[in-house]
Structure 1
Amino acid sequence: MTPATTASVSTHILDTSLGRPAEGVAVSLAARGGPGARWEALGGSRTDGDGRCKDLPALPEGTAQVRLDFETEAYFISREEAVSREEAEAQQDAPRARDSGVFFPEVAITFAVTPGEHYHVPLLLNPFGYSVYRGS
């Protein structure tokens, strides 16, 4: 068996304010060979109903650092619009417009990788904070 020459990456997002997966968040992936090297955009995905990106692109050989960019603003805006619609239906009023008030419009996570290793990087997200960790 030949050793793996690249690392692999997966992620998922949990909205801790709702206690549910964050569905529909755009996630993009970039890689570089080390500090000071140029970032190479590799593509992206969108979280599914379980908050997971199951189809992130593979990392090129020689990748030493990875960046995951999470586009959180659109997620929070759509979540607020859904809440407004539910409230309007309950009160039988027209939906109200809300200021997005999104504190973190995007979250960028950069981390180092070693060839042959798998890196699962969950994002725990709420409107006014987030945390990440190396999962399994």
Structure 2
Amino acid sequence: MAAVTEPGPLTTHVLNTADGIPAARMALSLHRLDSRLVVWNLLSVGTTNEDGRCPGLVSRQAFIPGMYKLRFETGSYWEELGCSCFHPYVEVVFTISDAEQRFHIPLLLSRFSYSTYRGS
């Protein structure tokens, strides 16, 4: 029997809405703001899988209240598909006050626009 692993407290899902497919193989990074020094600290880097998801962004222990950003390397993604785009990257900045909750940050993407929201 396979062990069941608990999903991380923060998940993302990137969808290429222009083509109606998951945005596979997109590089991204997670950062937390050090409010004393006012600098972003890199927590993790990853790449979306074939379903456009990037599991394991942050552990429950490292996920504390504060301001975070997910940076998606959209320009490189579109370039790999042989396309140009308007946004070379997308940064989604958000505040976590209750780190015991789960947070899902979807990114809906086309070459000239993007949308995001807090999912569940």
Settle same-fold status: TM greater than 0.5: yes
Aligned counterpart in structure 1 of residue 80 of structure 2, from 69, 78, 81: 78
Q: Report if aligned partners of 1:31, 1:63 keep a CA contact under 8 Å in 2.
A: no
Larger radius of gyration: 1
Greater strand content: 2
Alignment of 1:1-136 (within 5 A): 8-32=9-33, 34=35, 37-58=38-59, 60=62, 62-80=64-82, 101-113=84-96, 114-136=98-120
- 1:51 and 1:36 map into 2 onto residues whose CA distance is 33
- The percentage of counterpart residues that share the same residue type is 35
TM-score by length of 2: 0.82
Once superposed, what is the RMSD of the aligned Cα atoms? 2.1
Q: Unaligned regions of 5+ residues in structure 2, if any?
A: 1-7
Structure with more of its chain in helix, by fraction: 1
- Scaled by the length of structure 1, the TM-score of the pair is 0.73
Report the Cα distance in structure 2 between the residues aligned to 1:74 and 1:108, rounded to whole angstroms.
Answer: 14
**Structure 1 CA distance for aligned equivalents of residues 119 and 37 of structure 2:** 27
Superposed displacement of residue 61, structure 1: 5.5
